Structure 1
Amino acid sequence: MLPRVGRYDRQVVNRRLLASLFAATKLVHSAAVMNENIDHHTVQKVMLGHGFNIRQPTPTPSMFENLDPKSALETFSVWLREHEEGQVMLASVIVVIGIWWFVRTILSLVLNLICPLLVVTLAVICVPQLRRPLMGENYPLLANLLRNILLKLAENLRT
């Protein structure tokens, strides 16, 4: 568990994490551009021979050079509007997260509410000594009421 820190400390940490994310993205992008240029240069060298003078390609401007969070969000939203596969990917992630939260809620409901009620019910049914302390003096009336309800349900199901 992370130690509790003040709001200001979290903002500083979040800014540093965001700056690290942008720096890592910029590094990956520049490595990909460099790799693309090297592969292109190598292919030209192999095809034309070593004696042929090959002009180095001009570096392409990086879209991550002057990136601030607002423009990054705008760039992402424009990209999302233009690319259908991005929309499908984002929708899939949202659906998976929604299903996870739904399953988690149902499991916590079962474990925290239904299981204790079943344990108490089974204890009352199986251990006669617990009936009087839990149900009090009204146990015979409650048992008859429950029996009548179950008989009515069975009769309705039969018809």
Structure 2
Amino acid sequence: MSEITYVRGDASAPQGKGVKIIAHVCNDLGGWGKGFVLALSRRWPEPEAAYRRWHRDRARNDFALGAAQFVRVGPYVWVANLVGQRGTRTGRSTGVPVRYEAIDAALGLLAGKAEELGASVHMPRIGCGLAGGTWSRVEPLIAERLVARGVPVTVYDFEA
């Protein structure tokens, strides 16, 4: 079984050959504008536009915690919008927004898409920035859902 590869760099500029899926965690409010999504939006307009449409039309689609949306942004690059946080951190009295069970479900969908495309998965430490999660809880989910199925995963630690 392979393992998670850790590198210093920008997950919005994934390294390596072949088809790549850049995964990140979104909130369930339709908000896009802080954190890693800013790096994505600087490179491509499609992931944000698709996410906003998906949220706007949620009465007629699968938008919810644990859902995943896959947006092709180039011949060999996709972005996975994973809905894994409830709300945002503005109202701190309700605790952190991360929802590990939702990230787990979305990672299962991501694994299926990665297998379908023969893709590697690239990500920052999802769920651990604005969502307030801890890597010690997220990393085992990635190992179980992706790595155990043979999907190569690279996690990027960004240095400004």
TM-score, reference length from structure 2: 0.21
Which structure carries more helix by proportion? 1
Structure number with the bigger relative contact order (C-alpha 8 A, sep ≥ 6) is 2
The answer to which structure has the higher strand fraction is 2
TM-score (norm 1): 0.22
